[in-house]
Amino acid sequence: MLVIKEQQFKVFEQMLDKNLESRIIAHLRSNHEVLVDRLPEDLLREMVRNGIMRARKYSLSWESSLTAFVALMFEIAPNFDDHPDIQRVLKDKTVEPDQRIDLLSALVSEEDWQEAVKNYDESAWFPEN
């Protein structure tokens, strides 16, 4: 029987996360070039990593929902999810977590999105600082 030790599992998990970060970076560079083209690779990777951690607080796990969440952080604000109406959708227990991200465009008003933009907080990119 194959036994995977905890340390081996952690290394594997880190490798998966790094690959996910790379795919999200590629998505951002392809689809949101204007927002990320001047960012150095190491800074962009750190921002994406922190965005993934923020998205996971809402139990998001699909690559598509994590990518959409991080893209919204770049498009709207890194703390867009602090807006009460956006947070209400992201925490809605009646909807599977990874499906909530798709509901944002239908359930959040243009005014709420604009308010989220106005409340931009750069420190949300780097929560440990």
pLDDT for the residue numbered 1: 75
Query: The pTM is what?
Result: 0.89
User: Does 3 score more than 90 pLDDT?
Assistant: no
Distance, CA of 83 to CA of 89 (rounded, Å): 10
- pLDDT of 27-83, one tens digit each? 999 999 999 999 999 999 999 999 999 999 999 999 999 999 999 999 999 999 999
Position of tokens 């931009």?
120
| 1 within a domain of the structure (yes/no) | no
User: Does 104 score more than 60 pLDDT?
Assistant: yes
Residue 104, class by beta-carbon neighbours within 10 Å (0-12 exposed, 13-18 middle, 19+ buried)? buried
DSSP secondary structure letter of residue 29: H
Domain that holds residue 118: 6-125
Distance, CA of 108 to CA of 72 (rounded, Å): 13
Those residues whose C-beta lies under 8 Å from the C-beta of residue 17, and which sit 6 or more positions away, are 49, 52
Amino acid present at 78: P
